Each structure stands twice: as structure tokens, then as C-alpha cells.
Structure 1
């Protein structure tokens, strides 16, 4: 069996044929193949290099996803296991390049159809286990987050597929899986945090966190009722940041947008009157906060920024403790919200 890197290189030698086969809704523009996304929707946000030193590499500017053509095969066909990805790639490489769409339809008849990213995300989340007592629960507890298992949006996967995008190496690691949901509660994506099997934090890989599916306008939600409006909400970038706030304010509805750009694009429900935004210290985080604050004000929502004492709220929780974090938040919340969501002083 060819290795992942060998398969990716062989696909790259026929990059345009791969694109015509799996991304038939796109078209060539100069040295690029342009299409909407890996699900073969029309659009212009995903581009594949067809020539030059980066031939076969692709990026989706809307979602931040990127990879080589083996990743493209995996995403477009809705595959999770590497053996299925490799089988699909080898099958394509044996096809005459003139068969085009009809050849793809034949392979689709075997069950490997273009599955939307949201469907792949729902499948992966459904494969997860409840968090309580798992390695993922232990990982959060190491970060002083003791209530992670209370959140239905978090699950544990004992052996989640991971591929190094630089070397092509394949491995499996346990992972914390977080469901990304729409305002209606539908799962549109997942966020994976791969973990060290020995319980030593995150897995020792280049990028131990990745998202799958649609993040734009969606988020990981905590304490957000699906069937009732909320008047107060907190939003932030990182998963651990918002779980740290939820640890000391378990009743406040919260969302984690996962990246600074997606935080900037998040829109609070129209029922929200006060919208707390958890600050991160870096420049990207500040930019996301500014854009989100402007958007909130434009629809009549009051944005209020919550600032940590250290680098982020998880660092505050771990190093300063929950009592000091609570005291810091009490100084920043509207008194009505401090009384409603923080423990009595």
C-alpha cells in the first residue's frame, strides 16, 4: 500500500483531473481550480494550486480549512477512516482520466457519495462517548474545568483519525469532540482537540486542534436553551476560555466561536439585551472583539467586554483560582447579572 505522502504526490501529478472529478462545480482560472467548498458547491472561496511548488495544495478562505489532494478526497467523499480515503484515492488513480463525471457516479454507487461536511460532523459526534470519567474529562480537570461533563455539547472519542498535513503521517489519538451548532441547535460542525494517550495534555502533534464543517455564524454552545429566548449571553473565542467562565457562572448562556474571525462573524440572538465578550490578549482577539461589538451595537445590543487578569480566563482559573476569577468578574458584570449568575459574595 502506498503511504499517505506517496498517494498525495501521485494525486498532485494529476491535480486538474482530481479537481474535475471531485469538484466538478468549479472551473480553472489560470493556475488555480476555484469552487465553493469541499462539498462541491458553487462559489469562489476554495482554491486549489494546479501548478508550481504548491501544486495540489488547497485552502478554503471561508472556513480556514487547508490540505493536500488526499485531504480533498477525504472531505469531498465524507470519509473518516484513512483506509477508506486511501482506497478511494487508489481507485481514482486507476481510472482513465477521460471518464470524468460518469466514473465518479459509478464510484458513488458503492456508497461513497458527496456527504455534506455537517453530515460528517454529526456522524463523528455521534460516534463519541459521554464525557464523564474519560480522558477528555481528565484533560479538562487538569485545566481546572470540573464541570465539563455537564455539557451535552462535549463528547470523547477514544481513537480519532489524525493526519499530519506536512508529512502525511497517519495516526489515531483520543480526542475531545465539541459540537458546533446553529442558532436552532442543529450540528453544523465539530471541533476536535487531540489528546495525549498518557494523559499529558494535548497530543504531541503539530496542530492538535482542528474544526470540521461549517463554523461561520455558528458556535459551541453552553447553557443555551434551544426552545427559549435569552436576554444575557457571553461569547468568546476559545473552548477552554468559555468553559472556565461557565465553571464559575454555570447558569449564563455562553458560546465559543473557536477562532477570532468566527467570533467577529458571530451574531447574538435578537432577544439578547446584554452581550458579554470574553477578551483574549492577542491582536487577532482584539480585532474580533471590535468587529463583534460593532455588529452588536448596530442591532441595539449592549456589548460589554470581560477582561482576564492574566492571558486568558483559563489561565486565571488555573493560576488564580475560582474565587479570584469570580471576584474579577463581579467587578465587570452589570450588578443585576452578577447577582443572577455569580455565587453570593
Structure 2
């Protein structure tokens, strides 16, 4: 099976430019490379696909200079068509090359090779890989409907148009559009994913019993917005943390996804001041108290940012930007007001 896959990779590499023109149509040839924004076919110049063998490597290999990701043309086909099943990637590659389709047994072997435990970090990484950037998608519509417009630095948020949803205690599955968030460790490695299922028009969450679910390894990790150095804002929910960043888009922030996980987040070695974006409930009180104790032990200054209502997104939507700005400003260190706060 491995030999046959390698043969497909070799055949695709022999037609690397044709593959790129078909699956990465937003890019263009630049000398011996095909240049495009990323593997999701976004216009730009960050990703390079080698079109010819060279001393630096074989044809068909690609690298995204912005993210450090790399791979081969099977990865390009998988991402272009949003294929989660490796057998479907093989089938599409053979179709493109006008090769006979594999027999049933070979297809089953492909499926076994591609299978990973449900809910595992690897399953989370695959979900992130087949999702797309949020620009001009229902995720952007959903967030703007919740008052969140400062979306710079939100690359860890992705959109999946047909994300599987299985109701509790049911064998059947449904598909809904979803905001998919990458949970990462301090080095940026994806350890998990968080899904928020959305209404078909992005006007709110989907009408399902459990609108949010996480998968993978979450403890100590978070959904990160910006790169944390000496100052970080950490909270529970994605929308609440983004509501604070609405007034401080330059401050690095992270969403731990629950009070228990917020209390357990890992601190960057460079961190000197931590703003705790707490929810206004007993669980939020507990997370705040635990974080203060842990941070003080590590020599990190802490300041709690407390909402006037349930959380900062409720404040933003109900009370407005000016009220949220005033509430946050009174709890910031003076140097952080000048450095991070808008207006």
C-alpha cells in the first residue's frame, strides 16, 4: 500500500504544475515554483510548491513560509476538496491522473490507514486541516453579529461548512456549519479543537442540544490570539475573550474554553503580567482565585477583568463598546492603557 501511495506522489510530482493550476488556481508560477497564499488556495505569496526536482528537494513538495507547514501534492488535493478520508484523496488523485480506481480491498486498506481515534488530538488536527480561514464565511457573520469586528490575529479560528454533529445518545449524525478553533500548546502545536455549530445563515448558534464541543488534549492549552510575551489576557469563552480584544486588539489573549481549563493554563516563560478575563459566576471566581495563586507563585503579576453582566460578550452586546472600554480601562496597568487600549 505504501509503495502504491508513493507511486501516486511521484506521478503527481511529474505533473506538478498541472496539479497546482487545477487545485491551487489562486496562485501563479514564479520561476521553478508555484506561489499561492496557503494550502486553502488563498491568494498570496506565502506558500511555495516546487515544480521541478532540484538540489533543495523533489518536485511536488511545498512549504508555507508563514506557518512552517509542509507536505506533498496529496495534501494539496485533500485540502482543496476538504477530504477527510484518505481513501477519497487517493481516488481523486487517480481520477486527476486518469488512472484506474483501486479495488475494494485497496480502498479498505486506505480507510484503515487513515482512521484515527474519535476525539483524539490527531482527529482534531485533521479537522483543523480540512477547515478554511474565516474571512467572508459564516464565522465572520456570526462574530460580527455578536459585536466582534477586530479579527486580526484570529488565524486559529477556522470554518467548516458541514461539520459532523452527533446528538447525545443517538447513532445518527447531522452536519451543520461550524466555527472550528485550534487549541494549541505554548509552542503553537495543535493539541485539540473546539467546535461551535452555527445556524445556516450565521445569525447565531445552530438549533441543537449541545452547541459546543471540544476534542483532543485541552488541559493547560488554549485557543490563542496573538503571540504572548510579557502580557497576556486569558479567559474562558472565545466570544468573551474576543470581546476584550475588541478594545485591545494588540494584546495577546487566549480562551481556555472552560473555568476548569482556565485555572490550569500554562504560562509562557516570558510572561510578567496576566489579565484574567473572568466570567461572572462561581466557576469564574474559582478560576480567578486559582490563577492568581499559581501566577503569584511564578512571580507573575495578575489583574482580574470582571464583566458587569455574565461575561464580556454580553456586556459588549448589551451595554456597548464605551461601557466595556471604561470597565476594562479601570483595571489595566497605566502602561498597558497606553500600549494596548484603543481610543
* 8 Å contact from structure 1 (residues 236, 277) kept in 2: yes
- Which residue of the other structure, out of 132, 136, 140, is the alignment partner of 1:137? 140
* Partner-residue secondary structure (3-state), 1:314: helix
* More displaced 10-residue stretch of structure 1: 270-279 or 108-117: 108-117
C-alpha distance in 1 between matches for 2:215 and 2:84: 11
CA apart distance, 1:289: 1.4
Matches within 5 A, 1:47-62: none
Q: Which stretch shifts more, 303-312 or 109-118?
A: 109-118
**In 1, distance between residues paired with 2:240 and 2:111?**
45
TM-score, normalised via structure 1 length: 0.65
Deviation at 1:323, TM superposition (A): 2.0
Question: Which ranges of structure 1 fall in alignment gaps of 5 or more residues?
Answer: 1-78, 85-105
CA contact (8 A) 1:234 1:276 kept: yes
Counterpart of 1:156 in structure 2 is 159
Give the number of equivalent residue pairs: 239
CA distance in 1: counterparts of 2:159 and 2:319, whole angstroms: 28
Q: Is the 8 A contact 2:263 2:290 kept in 1?
A: yes
TM-score, structure 2 length as denominator? 0.66
Which residue of the partner structure matches residue 149 of structure 2? 146
Distance 1:242 1:275, change over 3 A: same
Separation in 2 of the partners of 1:221 and 1:333? 20
2:268 is matched with: 269
Question: In 2, are the aligned partners of 1:132 and 1:149 still within 8 Å (CA)?
Answer: no
Aligned to 1:17: none
* RMSD over aligned Cα atoms: 2.2
Would you say 1:235 and 2:242 are equivalent positions? no
The aligned counterpart of 1:198 is 201
- Quote the offset at 1:166 in angstroms: 2.5
Would the alpha carbon gap of residues 140 and 259 (structure 1) be closer, same or farther in structure 2, given more than 3 Å must change? same
Counterparts of 1:223 and 1:157 in 2: how far apart (Å)? 22
Shift in Å, 1:150: 4.7
1:244-255 matches, cutoff 5 A: 244-255=243-254
Asked if the contact 1:131/1:149 (under 8 Å) is kept, the reply is: no
Deviations 1:113-132 (A, max 9, x none): 54582221111111111111
Aligned to 1:337: 336
Matched with 2:177 is 174
Which contiguous aligned blocks of 4+ residues in structure 1 show a shift greater than 2 angstroms? Answer: 106-110, 112-116, 147-150, 166-169
Q: Counterparts of 2:341 and 2:130 in 1: how far apart (Å)?
A: 35
